[in-house]
Homo-oligomer: A and B are copies of this chain.
């Protein structure tokens, strides 16, 4: 196995200095076209690749961005939420199209992630992805800000801090999907998902939900709100609690698709007909949603657009350009889990 060649080897063969080689390989106009192509030919022949470590060290940039995925530590060996998986896919694609490498990393919210990737020069910037619980998360965001780290968050806007976010308009989504069912004639709405600021996106969806109810002179019954995490199992259990509560209801708004899927399972086990007796809706539009029985009516978050926005925004930040928080409009996806 041959030694890996360096720019000096090429310089030697081309009969020029190493610095000329470096310039030629980066298509610098400072080097004569003839020598440039000669050098490039030799480089190709030797199968030469610039050493990224050396290059990054000198130029102080890595052309790499890091994606930090936050997951609830409690369910760490279960599958990753398909919604985030889908985001991951689109972010990967978006990065590639911009010529950036993507470093993917899982983090537990509790860890010392805040000062790792950009500080060690492994990445030029960070994308933070996950359902954010703000308990001590926010304090770390502030630290990132202090350090001048470039980063973009996925999620609800943080009003009181100069943090750039890209997120879905959860409030509007929650409102519109609820209005949709209201128009179908349902009266008693249960909401499955957290109604507290610990889960900001769920909370926004809940607020939109309530807003829609009020706008149509329907009462918001707190006894019909049940907490649930973003898992199928959690949705199943919340629905069981709902059913056992004895409250009557004819519609369920789930804070995310996985919850909705779990809820449908619980309902069907208890003999409820969907959508005849109960209309069910979710949020996210994960792949599973179109294959459930009945197919789930939900709110689509455009992950492709989101991924592109996330990396474009981050890149702007890195390049010192202006950037601002963006909300992606939600989109209703009507399927069969609702009826009048």
Stretch at the interface among A102-110, A180-188, A234-242: A102-110
- When the two chains form their complex, are residues A106 and B92 in contact, meaning their CB atoms are under 8 A apart? yes
Chain B proximity of A119: nearest CB distance (Å): 4
Q: Which of A51-85 contact B (CB under 8 A)?
A: 51-54, 56-57, 62, 64, 69, 76-77, 79-80, 82, 85
By the criterion CB–CB under 8 Å, are B103 and A103 in contact?
A: yes
Complex contacts, A119 vs chain B, CB 8 Å: 4, 47, 49
| Contact A82 B304, CB 8 Å, known A47-B115, A96-B105, A121-B51 | no
A31 at the interface (CB under 8 A from B): no
How many A residues face the partner with a CB closer than 8 A?
Answer: 48
Top 6 nearest A-B pairs (CB, nearest first) are: A293-B293, A53-B57, A1-B148, A49-B119, A49-B120, A53-B56
Q: Is the interface of A mostly helix, strand, loop or mixed?
A: mixed
A29-59 interface bits toward B, Cβ cutoff 8 Å, 1 = contact, 0 = none: 0000000000000000001011111101100
A119 and B48 CA atoms in complex are apart in Å by: 8
| A27 within 8 Å of B (CB atoms) | no
Give the shortest distance, in Å, between A60 (CB) and chain B (any CB).
8
Render A289-331 as a binary contact track against B, CB cut-off 8 A, 1 for contact.
Answer: 0011100000000001000000000000000000000000000
Q: Flag whether A175 is at the interface (Cβ < 8 A).
A: no
Whole-angstrom distance from the CB of A20 to the nearest CB of chain B? 20
A252 contacts B by Cβ under 8 Å: no
User: Is A261 part of the contact surface with B, judged by Cβ < 8 Å?
Assistant: yes
Choose from B50, B105, B261, B292 the contact partner of A92 (Cβ within 8 Å). B105
Given contacts A57-B57, A96-B105, A291-B288, contact A120 B52 (CB under 8 A): yes
Q: Beta-carbon contacts of A199-242 to B below 8 Å, as 1s and 0s? A: 00000000000000000000000000000000000000000000
Q: What residues on B are CB-neighbors of A50 within 8 Å?
A: 120
**Contact at A52–B121, with CB atoms within 8 Å?**
yes
A77 & B304 in contact (Cβ 8 Å cutoff): yes
CA distance A134 to B69 in the complex (A): 34
Rounded to whole Å, the gap between the CB of A287 and the closest CB of chain B is 6
- Whether A1 contacts B291 by the Cβ 8 Å rule is no
A2, chain B: closest CB distance, angstroms: 8
